Structure 1
Amino acid sequence: MNATHDPTPDAWYAAARHWTFRGHDLPYRDSGGDSREAVLLIHGFPTCSWDWAPLWDRLVARYGRVIAPDMLGFGRAAKPRGHRYDLMEQADLHVALMQHCGVDTVQVVAHDYGVSVAQELLARGLDHSLPMTLRAVALLNGGLFPETHRQTLTQRLLHSPLGALLSALSGQDRFNRSFSLVFGPETRPSAATLDAFWSLLTYNDGHRQLHRLIRYIDDRRQHRERWVGALQRTPVPLRLINGPEDPVSGAHMVARYRTLIPAPDVVSLPGIGHYPQVEAPDGVWNALQPFLDRT
């Protein structure tokens, strides 16, 4: 069964708010209210906050305030040319947004690229430089350990000296093929979903920036000890929710997680690939809701 994705991007962003981070306009969804506690949703590469649409209504109904931004360079956010996109800056962005929203306590749900942002937030919590309280962190498929991150062919090319050329030549057919391969064999994205993802990727010519955004791979290597150490030493409750069919960070990454993380709390979703929240929102909800309730 193909994965479907509602509401449409236009409907999703029609309800977005906007703020300015370091001179750049960024959209974010905020379910509203004046609560100083929120669930913070951190998206992955190369997609955006729309990834969380299948879970949004349930999260809001149960937890009240939920916030999901587009990071710099993604979705309908600003995508400055020549920018040195950096995971540390993306962590700064989330901290600044929480301050902008008046939030000082968060439960984080992070996916893919976003798991590195969550790891940096955990590290800042350990060194007392984080101006908010992390109550819990749920991690969906992502490269928690650079040694287990298996790049797709497209990612390897984008990260190579040919990256700028590949970005310049990128088209939807190539995107559809490479993107679909990271989903589970029975939960590939529908044609309409692929069209929507492509429209968000190409917004503000974002597909021309992929060779710059892919430098997150270097950030993960550079900060490996800090970010893996944060997972090992944090007192914040962690849960890993994983689609094992993911060729990038599936079952092989979970095996590494179990060897490195004390008392690992892992939920595996059989048959699911790299985008559990899109492929199996019910399965993710069933794993996420009791964890967030408990913490």
Structure 2
Amino acid sequence: MSGLTTRVAEWAATGRWETVNGHRIFVRRTGGNGPLVVLLHGYPSSSYDWRGILPALESTGASILAFDFLGFGLSDKPTDVIYSLKTQADIVETLIAGQPALLIAHDLGDSVATELMARDIDRSLTFILNGVMMTNSSVVIGKANLTAAQKLLRGRWGPLLARLISPKVIRKQLAGVFSAEHPLTKDEGDDQWSLLAHNGGDKIIDKLSYFNRERVELADRWEGAIRNWPGRLSVGWGGQDHISGEPVLNAIISLNPRADVTRWPELGHFPQIEDPTAVGRLAVTFTKTKPPGSSSDS
């Protein structure tokens, strides 16, 4: 596919496109016959972010589903839809197709996870949700420190700013959320831009920012899900995240003191890219932990 780096093109060749509600969604299904683990990526990236932890997860025998949300990565990027996270949650439910599942999420994916948790509370969820693992995000929007660009993109000037998006701008924004110990590499910047720009995604980046409005409008529902969902919540957090750092983590802990918390003090906003070994280790522990009430040999 033209415009993609060689590395991203090789990644694309390992997956396929599945049609969901009339749109092509890039999907990668790997692993064994163990519990289904679903990876929910962040903004403005894609399932490619998870590539470094896949070998560790696959070693557990889990069945792994990674995919690109509508509008992101290698999935379709229509210009005439509202990119609601409720729509993205619908896609998750369709792809899971009623199987019991574990969710591992990052950034935007954390809010999709909270919508699914809220549906579980409402008893409208179409699958058994056995656990959720969250990583860095502005899931509690009132405690996040959004960049000026993030604030502009979700407002009236968003369409104008989207026209000014360039590889240089995206690399600068991404570099600003990586830690000093694990800086953004040139290859990673090239890969991320090629995925964003694929099929004109850079031109709709303001539309893709709609979720930050929803995080305000639906705060009671989504933060209430963190507080009231009775299932197993695991949290892994990079301490060098200047957007969604310690204040957001503390808010999650306040909402759900039962959560299992792992801190990575030296990592930034993309811990799964910066140190896939550390994140993979937590993901394996999370995957292998039996849900409450399950038998030891289930």
User: Given the two structures, how large is their TM-score scaled by the length of structure 1?
Assistant: 0.93
Distance in 2 between the 1:149 and 1:247 partners?
Answer: 9
Which stretch shows the higher mean deviation, 253-262 or 22-31?
Answer: 253-262
Distance in 1 between the 2:246 and 2:256 partners?
Answer: 15
Deviation at 1:259, TM superposition (A): 2.0
Distance in 2 between the 1:64 and 1:36 partners?
Answer: 4
- Residue 295 of structure 2 corresponds to none
Distance in 2 between the 1:55 and 1:45 partners?
Answer: 18
Residue 106, structure 1, aligned to residue 101, structure 2 = yes
Alignment deviations for residues 18-65 of structure 1 (CA, whole Å, 9 cap, x no partner): 1111211111100166x4841000000000010110011221121331
- Asked if 1 retains the 8 angstrom alpha-carbon contact of 2:144 and 2:245, the reply is no
- Residue 217 of structure 2 corresponds to 222
- Residue 239 of structure 1 corresponds to 234
Distance in 2 between the 1:188 and 1:163 partners?
Answer: 28
Distance in 2 between the 1:291 and 1:89 partners?
Answer: 27
- Residue 126 of structure 1 corresponds to 121
Alignment match of 1:160 (pick from 131, 134, 155): 155
Alignment deviations for residues 201-247 of structure 1 (CA, whole Å, 9 cap, x no partner): 00001011111111101111111111111111112100110001111
- Asked if 2 retains the 8 angstrom alpha-carbon contact of 1:39 and 1:63, the reply is no
RMSD: 1.6
Distance in 2 between the 1:98 and 1:206 partners?
Answer: 25
* 1:165-176 aligned within 5 A: 165-176=160-171
Residue 138, structure 1, aligned to residue 133, structure 2 = yes
SS in 2 for 1:109: strand
SS in 1 for 2:280: helix
Which stretch shows the higher mean deviation, 156-165 or 230-239?
Answer: 156-165
The aligned amino acid for 1:80 is: P
Alignment match of 2:256 (pick from 254, 258, 261): 261
- Asked if 2 retains the 8 angstrom alpha-carbon contact of 1:7 and 1:53, the reply is no
Instruction: Flag structure 2 segments of 5+ consecutive residues without an equivalent.
Output: 291-298
Residue 273, structure 1, aligned to residue 273, structure 2 = no
The aligned amino acid for 2:69 is: M
Distance in 1 between the 2:99 and 2:119 partners?
Answer: 14
* 1:23-62 aligned within 5 A: 23-31=22-30, 35=33, 37-62=35-60
- Asked if 2 retains the 8 angstrom alpha-carbon contact of 1:244 and 1:271, the reply is yes
Deviation at 1:294, TM superposition (A): 1.4
The aligned amino acid for 2:46 is: C
Residue 95, structure 1, aligned to residue 90, structure 2 = no
Q: Which runs of 4+ in 1 moved over 3 A?
A: none
The aligned amino acid for 1:74 is: F
Deviation at 1:124, TM superposition (A): 0.8
- Asked if 2 retains the 8 angstrom alpha-carbon contact of 1:45 and 1:112, the reply is yes
Deviation at 1:79, TM superposition (A): 0.4
SS in 2 for 1:236: coil
Distance in 1 between the 2:78 and 2:199 partners?
Answer: 9
